Structure 1
């Protein structure tokens, strides 16, 4: 099903005046310069090539009135009315998103199980190589591509909430430029897998297999980028069901393709690795027609304009770098555990066991990710519409749901630990170590759930840089050294490495709560609305409002 667009919701968006009054206000509002503000309009000659935040106070006055109207409309509702409406809307978006996330992660799960059976004699080595390959992909593809996607999600949700439909598509064009600029770096890293892993102290034989898998993963990058851009544009409009269908089709086809390549050709484990590019290709192909038929696209697509796209690259770049750092520093904590495990005795068993543990964490967090993504979208829409009180209440809903869902997930993981671990490899030692690790680290799941909920709030508010700084300090500067102390000084092994990460996560959660209590939601709503306004407001306001109506 397609979730109704936010702009059609009477409850959320009856904050502007009638259409004619709004257009008159936009086109003829008086300029009220502050002391020292020049009335020179020569800086506007470049139209939308000027910064997204206009330098003329006319727009500021209009936005202030809209924000006041939005705040007044929300203040007339009780807390329970807002919570009730937003909980229903959050679940309506979260459930399809949850299924989509689950189906997106299932292919990797199936491939990791399948790859351990391509060569029984080398199953532990191949599985360890696959986990290292997945680790690098998580840092590069997950950190860079999905990190930039997080920034684009934020900007698109703000633009849609503020009824800036043309600006939404301008953002996707700028995102395309940013991704193209990142392609050479991604290619270089994925082509240098083996020497990079050897330099990091990994076993040369394992690094060789992992390097081949990384080279294969280069094929999926263009399709992953296409899918990420289209997904940002659609989910900002609360359209999520197409991702369910695309992920389901991708899961089925990629699994069949991987099985055929691995067991019916001479490709072996490389055949399994080829399943991922096939899956991403299918997802991009299935979502493209949805975008082309999207009413907002049909009515508001401004046509490709590279100069307009370049004008927005600095804005996306700044927020994108913060988003990449936010996700990368979080992943660094996980990544260093795998890398450090490769330096401990019995490295292949520990790497494989850690990979199984990371896999079960990912599986357990599928429902949580759906809630967090949906929550970030709803908060972003509310902030873009100037509804600060509503956004704050949504953040409380998301945080509570994150903690509850992750607690339930921990109980389920404890029950399935042994059979889940044995599904990956016939090696009894690896299975035993993985099962013990899962059960020892169950308290980490609720902590990570709360941290993920907090990160969705940072993301919706456009505070990715602050979140990146907290991730770096808590998970890398504090978590990694503490993990080494626990692992080496207290002889806790790989569980000690994770204990350090757990300590860093606790510190992050405390810092996040302190920030949440001190922050001004009204200011963030004001910033979100101003940030979505293009310089050429008078040229685009007509089509934006028409689409929103």
Structure 2
């Protein structure tokens, strides 16, 4: 009996130690997670909030202008956002892994290479925004909405080039866990934009031009401040000045960017295709306005979890770069449980306050009622959005962009959109049918990514990360080999 009692005590003591160790590891990893996630969440909420606030100012001005802005923002702007953010996300993978491997000098070179590639890409996209009205008419959109969209579309051109530098600088600083500065700048700019738009729209009666011009000005002020931070010496290890090396090996950058771009583009364009489909429905102005309001609400809440996506990418990439497979797996577990817990809270909130939120964007009772009919579906979208971005962050951190691109195409365009069309046009569900199709596509993608993540050999991923970094590595010669042409 005494022997059994001693064994029980030893076993209990061991379990307590393991439990205590797990608790310590969880809180330690949570600390690392929130150092990246908290600023990233603030950045995403502030950045997307600029679009939402602009929508709110325009929406209270005119129902036609609200529908036009919804079409341009969700279709044309998301097109550019998908391409540029998707291509920039490959930089996040490389910077995160290089920083983990202590190849600090390569981060600045990677940054400059992506500037070159993304600037060229943004320039090639300009005709889409210059000829927005003819393109939208060609796609069968309502004539009045298409014509009202032209002014808004032209105002987006400076935003597109802002994306080039904003996304890449964010990836560069985030990999070093220096994105707090961007968070402060983004939140300050967000507050400034609200003030500028209030003056421009309500006091000076400048309408769309006042709302859009204020957004452009606020965004570019952030960017100028970020350039000053990087060039001013606050990143001494990773920014060594402009380098000739940035012009070497651009083709591998293009290939990696394209595979990464396809992955995120397919995901971000999913909603764009759906908003285009809604534009063909009867009473297009009301349907489009209600769908875009729900999409804006869910996307703004999604920015919380996109912050976790960024944190997951950084943590997984850092640990793979360091060669620690177990730490990468544990980081995924911690961020997944944290993001899901937050998603459950917002699921309940949207069930309760779905209709009330719509009045922030519109004064139309008809639009508000349509939004109310979608609130249950919106709540389930919010719940799925708490899981899916984390899994996408795992894919980015591990460099699985090509695989996930195929998964996204299958789940969104083979399952989600066809199902949404069937339910939206062949039943009485209308807009609700489109939204149900969207939910099914996201659910299918989430399920597949969970299966892949669980079955992954993370030791093999460490080896692949090392091989990728070795292939891109250049010697850290500073100025001695003449590579560095100028310093900020």
Does the TM-score normalized on the shorter chain lie above 0.5? yes
Question: CA deviation digits over 1:272-298, x for unaligned, max 9?
Answer: 122221121111012222212455x32
Listed one character per residue, the Cα deviations across residues 425-473 of structure 1 (whole Å, up to 9, x for unaligned) are 1111011101211234422221232111111111111111111111111
1:145, distance to aligned residue in structure 2 (A): 1.5
Q: Any residues of structure 2 matched to 1:130-145 within 5 Å, and which?
A: 130-145=69-84
CA drift at 1:510: 1.9
- 1:52-451 residue pairs with structure 2 within 5 A? 81-118=24-61, 123-265=62-204, 267-295=206-234, 297-306=235-244, 308-451=245-388
Distance 2:280 2:46 in 1: 34
Decide whether the 8 Å contact of 1:360 with 1:413 is kept in 2. no
Structure 1's 540 and 381: CA in aligned 2 closer, same or farther, altered over 3 A?
farther
Gaps in structure 1 of 5+ consecutive residues? 1-76, 544-549
Where 1:274 maps in the other structure, the secondary structure is helix
- Paired residues, number: 461
Q: For structure 1, which segment, 458-467 or 286-295, has the greater mean C-alpha deviation from structure 2 after superposition?
A: 286-295
The equivalent residue for 1:505 is 442
Partner Cα distance (2:266, 2:329) in 1: 26
Checking the alignment, whether the CA contact within 8 Å between 1:156 and 1:233 is kept in structure 2 is yes
Provide the C-alpha distance between the structure 1 equivalents of 2:453 and 2:41, rounded to a whole number of angstroms: 26
Alignment of 1:1-16 (within 5 A): none
Q: Secondary structure at the residue paired with 1:532?
A: helix
Q: Distance in 2 between matches of 1:519 and 1:191?
A: 45
Residues 468-526 of structure 1 show CA distances to partners (whole Å, capped at 9, x for unaligned) of 11111101121111111111222211111111121122221221122112222112122
The answer (yes or no) to whether the contact 2:105–2:476 under 8 Å persists in 1 is no
The answer on whether the counterparts of 2:92 and 2:171 sit within 8 Å (CA) in structure 1 is yes
With the length of structure 2 as denominator, give the TM-score of the two structures. Answer: 0.89
Q: 1:275 to 1:240 in 2, by over 3 A?
A: same
CA separation of 1:353 and 1:502: change in aligned 2, threshold 3 A? same
Q: 1:481 pairs with 418, 437, 447, which one?
A: 418
Partner Cα separation in structure 2 for residue 338 and residue 530 of structure 1: 42
Match among 451, 454, 460 for residue 514 of structure 1? 451
Unaligned runs of 5+ in 2: 1-19, 481-488
On the 8 A contact 1:148/1:320 being kept in 2, the answer is: yes
Aligned residues of 2:312 and 2:332 also touching (Cα < 8 A): yes
- C-alpha change, 1:474 and 1:266, in structure 2 (3 Å) is same
TM-fit CA distance, 1:184? 2.2
Instruction: Name the residue aligned to 2:14.
Output: none
Q: Which moved more, 1:85-94 or 1:461-470?
A: 85-94
2: CA distance between counterparts of 1:310 and 1:527? 25
Q: Quote how far apart the aligned CAs of 1:403 are.
A: 2.1
Would the aligned equivalents of 2:84 and 2:122 in 1 still touch at CA under 8 Å? no
- The answer on whether the counterparts of 1:162 and 1:385 sit within 8 Å (CA) in structure 2 is yes
Distance 1:438 1:316, change over 3 A: farther
Shift of residue 322 of structure 1?
Answer: 1.8
> What is the CA-CA distance between 1:246 and the residue it aligns to?
0.9
What displacement does 1:234 show? 0.8
Judged with a 3 Å threshold, the aligned counterparts in structure 2 of structure 1 residues 386 and 346 are, in CA distance, closer, same or farther, namely same
Deviation at 1:80, TM superposition (A): 5.2
C-alpha contact 1:130 1:213 (8 A) present in aligned 2: yes
TM-score by length of 1: 0.80
Match of 1:462 among 389, 399, 402: 399
Partner in structure 2 of residue 35 of structure 1: none
